[in-house]
Amino acid sequence: MTGGEGGERDPGLQPERTRLAWRRTTLSATVVALLAGRQALHSGASPAGLAALALTAAAWLGFLTAAHLRVVRLGVARPEPLGPRGALTAALCTVAFAVFAAAMLF
């Protein structure tokens, strides 16, 4: 659908929904990082577990930074689309969470 004259798109509440989705995803990533810390503490704090925990914390910080930048950019009336760099950062951090979680289990 197009809005008014000129065929410009009216985003309505879509930027707000996207901002809330980024916040929920950040909360989920925080829970994953905290559970990784808990697992590392309960597993006896082996060197491999501590390394995986440190890498998980780094991935969490990377995701937190990418999500924060995206949420800030969504604060305008007509936000820019997510760029390839932001999408790649979020995807790599998510994959890193899975890899480091598997490393902690073995």
| Whole-angstrom distance, CA of residue 16 vs CA of residue 18 | 5
Q: Taking the model in full, what pTM does it have?
A: 0.75
pLDDT at 1: 47
pLDDT tens-place string over residues 53-70: 888 889 999 999 999 988
User: Residue range 87-106: average pLDDT?
Assistant: 85
* Confidence check: pLDDT of 8 > 60: yes
Q: Quick check: helix, strand or coil at residue 79?
A: coil
Contact (CB, 8 A) for 35 and 29: no
